[in-house]
Amino acid sequence: MLTIKPRPRSLAKFRAATSEAAALLRTLANEDRLSLLCQLTQGESCVSDLAEKTSIMQPTLSQQLGVLREQGLVATRRDGKRIFYSISDPRALALLRTLYGLY
Amino acid sequence: MLTIKPRPRSLAKFRAATSEAAALLRTLANEDRLSLLCQLTQGESCVSDLAEKTSIMQPTLSQQLGVLREQGLVATRRDGKRIFYSISDPRALALLRTLYGLY
DNA sequence: CAGACATATTATTCTTCAATATATTGTCGA
DNA sequence: TCGACAATATATTGAAGAATAATATGTCTG
Segment B60-79, tens digit of pLDDT? 999 999 999 999 999 999 99
Q: Which residues of B touch A99 (CB under 8 A)?
A: 21, 95
Dist. CA B74–CA B96, nearest whole Å: 13
Q: What residues contact residue B29 under an 8 Å CB cut-off, 6+ apart?
A: A22, A25, A26, A28, A29
CA closest to C1' of D9 belongs to A63
CA nearest neighbour of B100 among B42, B51, B43: B42
Nearest residue, CB atoms, A29 vs list B6, B22, B43: B22
CA pair distance A48, A53, nearest whole angstrom: 9
Using the 8-state DSSP alphabet, how is residue B89 labeled?
Answer: -
Q: Does the global pTM surpass 0.85? A: yes
From first to last of its 103 residues, chain A has per-residue pLDDT tens of 667 766 656 888 888 899 999 999 999 999 999 999 999 999 999 999 999 999 898 889 999 999 999 999 999 999 999 999 999 999 999 999 999 999 8
Nearest residue (Cα to C1') for D8?
A: A62
Separation of alpha carbons B27 and B25, rounded Å? 5
Are A25 and B20 inside 8 Å of each other by CB? no
Distance B8 CA to D12 C1' (A): 41
Q: Which amino acid is at A93?
A: L
- Rounded to 5, what percent of chain A is helix, strand, coil? 60, 15, 25
Instruction: Decide: residue B64, CB within 10 A, 0-12 exposed, 13-18 middle, 19+ buried.
Output: buried
